[in-house]
Structure 1
Amino acid sequence: MGIRVQLGILIPLVVAAGLVTMAFVAAEQQRIDAQDDLLHRGTEVLEAVGVPAAVAVAQNDVAGLDTLIAHVTAASGRGELRELMVLDETGRVLAHSDPERFNTVCADAFCKAAIRGNGTSWRRTPDALWLGVPAQSGIRWATVVAQFSLDQVNASARRTRVQWLAFAFGLVLLMALGLFLGVDRVVVQPVRALQAAVRRMGEGSLNARASPAGGRELSELARNVNAMAEALQHERNHLEQAVAERTRELQEANARLERMAVTDGLTGAYNHRRFQEGLAAEVLRSERNGYPCAVLMVDVDLFKRVNDSLGHPRGDELLRQLAAVLASTLRQTDLFARYGGEEFAALLPETSRAEAAQVAERMRAAVEAQLTDAEWRQKITVSIGVSVYPDDGKTPEQVLVSADQALYLAKHQGRNRVVIARAAA
């Protein structure tokens, strides 16, 4: 199917859809406007009836009330007023456009709502408009209720829809004919010229531009664009591959730098700066969520003897093994760092005092069991101080001081033990 036929069908269909939508919108708006006008006029009529009706009810003038209702009903010569009634506070009909309804009770929900209401009440149904206003002269004596027919309003809206649809149908036919006859000159010939420009672009003249679309003529245009794209694709792929490789190398280098910035080069644990940052962040999170967090300060007992007797390289190896043993006792969510020298620290998120004490004891026991005396010519043990936020400090610095004081007590009490900050206080 050629572009001429496609446009001759597509554009009229789009226009037709828009016109049909406008037809229904216009008809609906006309219906709404007519209903609003009827509501306004009906309200004026009922308000005009309300005062004399109130006087008649106050004087118990049933005949005068009937005459008033009959006069208003007769004056409505447009067929809009279906029924008109005057109700007392119990819903009893005091007067009605249908005399047989006199002294009956209007049990309709709208009648009840109108009687209870203090002002104008109204309700729309598909074919009717209900209105109610108080009948008052000084005080409220009754309620005037009327039902107006919407048949004329709805019929007018239907006529409007039909007129719009007829207009849309005629316009679409004219547009289809005009497009079919004129599209070759207006669209096809320019597209063929564009096709030649795109062919030149594929041959190397990249200053031309084209956008492919459907139809026989534009299919050829699309093939030429694809030929050009294929000629450029190889070079672009080569450039993208080179850029991607350099980007990957840069990302890997950045990742190594980031790891080096937060990692202790000897043990592979996090360094002192990373621990301080993690502790500050965890204290804020604990304060926000209401969970405690714990800090463990770990120091190798008599580490200087290892350096003095075996040398610093062996001391470094001990620190590496010790870091591995300590880290193996922690969770993935815990933060383990070399705090400085032979001192390590652990941050335990969402950990109570009792849980922190258990972790610290597990650390101490693991070191005592896994680092043999024979390898290091002395018993390798650790002392551990434990503090908990917020009980042992309200700031990261205070929590660290509490843990360090507990560590000092562990050393003072004989080493190879765990001391809890509160117990030390």
Structure 2
Amino acid sequence: MTSLSSVSPYDNMSPVAQVAYRARAAAADLAPLPRSAKDDALLAMADALEVRTSEIVEANAEDVARAREAGTSETVIDRLTLTPERVRAIAADVRHVAALPDPVGEVVRGSTLPNGIDLRQVRVPLGVVGIIYEARPNVTVDAAALCLKSGNAVLLRGSSSAYSSNTALVRVLRDAVGGSGLPADAVQLVPGESRDSVRELMRARGMVDVLIPRGGASLIRTVVEQSTVPVIETGTGNCHVYVDAETDIDMAVEILINSKAQRPSVCNAAETLLVHKDIAAAFLPRALDALADAGVTVHGDERVIEYADATKATIVPATTEDWETEYLSYDIAAAVVESLESAVAHIRLWSSGHTEAIVTTSQAAARRFTQLVDSTTVAVNASTRFTDGGQFGFGAEIGISTQKLHARGPMGLPELTSTKYIVTGDGHTR
């Protein structure tokens, strides 16, 4: 007969359920910890990343080699690749997170009620946060650092294409967290490389408090539609740059090129250019030449194609599909529009609600555009590339939410918390 004391709670659990169970226990231990304990663990993580860089880069090279053998595009490989310089930058981001204020325990609002009861609404960790993401191993560290700082345990389910990289990174992070005296199970890699483990994670309601998908439209749609765990939707980035009738052409060209070509493989890169008809003749020849110099192919409407002979740009006819495409490559859709309102109508129809920019010298046009466009971020005379947790001063972000409940836009530390009410009386009864 088996004694109760010899039965492990994990004996009848699947591997995914086991890590979720351990994460839940770790989250309970993390929640009451002071900032100093969490910051010490974060600094230990950053140091470990630098000390063990060669181990991480060597594992990453295995993933990159497999990706190249599979014919993966260079833009995806770029997102997958870790170099010593990139590892150092990731470690620096972790140190930045350690330096940020701790949101846990912050009083969101509070008052003394007329009956003398003291009422406070305070920030608390979400609990167990699951991250499902594609071939971006930097997300492994970003998510672990932000979750730990905000008192959450994290379950990381990266894509199989980054399995070696993620395994090495999580091994390094867990060693550092455990070595600093915190529960190592605060950071765990979800076991398995098949979709079965993803499906089980999506159905771990009661064990996992929230899921955050990061990746392409297909991944995000699958998680949103199939998960029974609450989901914070991080949408794709079909971002627009609108050049107004009244504009500084030099500035408009510079913003366009930065938005599109500075790093085209990320979600805040511009995918569509809209140009007011009154500025098209002056702006488009210069813009198209600049796009050509940056190696960008333009998918243009009929009025953009009219400028093909006057520039060195590669212009192909735009189809309906182009207006809704997140290229993540050196491609951009382009159209000439009748008015600011026409640009807004186009954005409303095709945008993913991520980031839209207007380049204008008219304050009235800027106000009108920001009022009418309903996206997480509206930029005035600035590149779309600024929609980023680091650029906003939040530290490394957990994702950019394109939904409207709980969190919207770049999600930093406060967005990884919920709240609870503390009611303090003196023998009060109702």
Question: Which protein has greater RCO, CA pairs closer than 8 Å, 6+ apart?
Answer: 2
Q: TM-score range by the shorter chain?
A: under 0.3
Relative to the length of structure 2, the TM-score reads: 0.20
- Answer 1 or 2: which has greater helix percent: 1
Relative to the length of structure 1, the TM-score reads: 0.21
